[in-house]
């Protein structure tokens, strides 16, 4: 029996330090047939040259670069809807890597269960130098996943493999979330409303959490995007369609502004929340950076200093090196 084609896409922006490891893990996949669509999204480092080099030496790798930076969602939608030929689709992050048998196991699952439209995997969070930070399990029961989606995302986005016909029926990733985040949460939520979804119970993906990338920008829109996804889902449940499906973008913008309002009223709150999230992930330098930002925003608030000293004490390292 002929195996179906799998299409994997990468949108790459300044990922040169990790890109070789990512591409090597893709080239080593045990599943075949497979194609990889690679797009440099206006990088200023050597990412494009690395992608071109891989495309020149391995026919499974194909490039379709952007002339300028347009954002991840626009890029992957273009590749998935216009270039990918596979029965199954997946989006891989450029600074992560996968176990060799990852796609083999996921395609076995989906081919055996035609009533399932999407599956992810368990995953391992790693640091810049590949030290294990945490192993993350996800629910595997479709019923539990559907019930728990209202509370939090049930999938690690780049672990997801989905049926191309389902992806196209959903209209792909929604552009409103470009540069805001949680587009994977939104896609999987909409997918679970139409078909069963699951996670393969094996640690098959290595998700890199880089101190450098996390600490650059703290944005309220990123912090509340999961709440926007939940609001849209509630509208679909109550009215059949959500604001974006009704083309009521202004109403979606208004809801996003409403969700961001507490941070506009208390800007240092956003920094403290980021600091807490980074501490949970053991990203101590990013946590300390966020705490310093809170102090800079409001140097008269004692809790900001307490947060910074707490991080220093818990981290037990010299964060100033």
Q: What is the pLDDT of residues 69-98, one digit of tens each?
A: 999 999 999 999 999 999 999 999 999 999
Question: How does pLDDT run across 233-250, given as a tens digit for each residue?
Answer: 999 999 999 999 999 999
Question: How many CB atoms lie under 10 A from the CB of residue 10?
Answer: 30
Report the CATH number of the 6-211 domain: 3.90.550.10
The radius of gyration of the chain's CA atoms, rounded to the nearest angstrom, is 20
pLDDT band at residue 123 using 50, 70 and 90 as cut-offs:
very high
Q: Find all residues with CB under 8 Å of 299, minimum gap 6, and list them.
A: none
Percent of the chain at pLDDT exceeding 70: 96
- Residue ranges, comma separated, of all CATH 3.90.550.10 domains in the chain are 6-211
Is the pLDDT confidence value at 59 over 60?
yes
Question: How does pLDDT run across 251-270, given as a tens digit for each residue?
Answer: 999 999 999 999 999 999 99
Give the C-alpha separation, 72 to 67, whole Å: 14
For residue 21 the two structure tokens come to 């490891």
pLDDT band at residue 317 using 50, 70 and 90 as cut-offs:
low
Spell out where 100-213 has E strands: 116-126, 132-136, 161-163, 196-208
Supply the pTM of this predicted model: 0.91
């Amino acid at each position: 029996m002929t195996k179906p084609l799998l299409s994997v896409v990468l949108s790459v922006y300044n990922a040169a330090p990790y890109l070789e490891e990512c591409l090597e893990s893709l080239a080593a996949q045990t599943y075949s047939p497979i194609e990889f669509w690679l797009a440099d999204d206006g990088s200023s480092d050597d990412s494009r040259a690395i992608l071109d080099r891989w495309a020149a030496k391995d026919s499974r790798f194909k490039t379709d670069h952007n002339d300028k930076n347009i954002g991840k969602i626009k890029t992957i939608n273009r590749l998935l809807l216009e270039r990918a030929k596979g029965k199954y689709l997946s989006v891989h992050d450029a600074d992560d890597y996968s176990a060799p048998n990852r796609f083999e196991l996921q395609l076995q699952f989906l081919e055996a269960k035609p009533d399932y439209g999407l599956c992810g995997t368990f995953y391992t969070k790693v640091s810049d130098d590949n030290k294990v930070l945490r192993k993350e399990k996800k629910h595997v029961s479709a019923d539990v996943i559907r019930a728990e989606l209202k509370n939090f995302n049930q999938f690690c986005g780049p672990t997801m493999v989905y049926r191309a016909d389902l992806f196209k029926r959903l209209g792909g990733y929604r552009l409103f979330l470009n540069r805001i985040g949680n587009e994977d949460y939104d896609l999987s939520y909409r997918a679970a409303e139409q078909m069963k979804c699951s996670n393969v119970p094996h640690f098959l993906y290595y998700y890199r959490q880089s101190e450098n990338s996390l600490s650059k920008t703290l944005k309220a829109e990123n912090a509340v995007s999961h709440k926007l996804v939940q609001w849209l889902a509630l509208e679909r449940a109550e009215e059949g369609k959500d604001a974006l499906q009704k083309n009521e973008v202004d109403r979606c913008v208004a809801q996003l502004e409403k969700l961001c309002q507490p941070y506009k009223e208390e800007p240092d709150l956003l920094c403290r929340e980021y600091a807490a999230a980074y501490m949970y992930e053991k990203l101590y330098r990013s946590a300390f950076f966020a705490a310093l930002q809170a102090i800079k925003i409001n140097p008269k608030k004692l809790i900001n200093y307490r947060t910074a000293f707490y991080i220093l004490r818990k981290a037990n390292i010299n964060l100033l090196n």
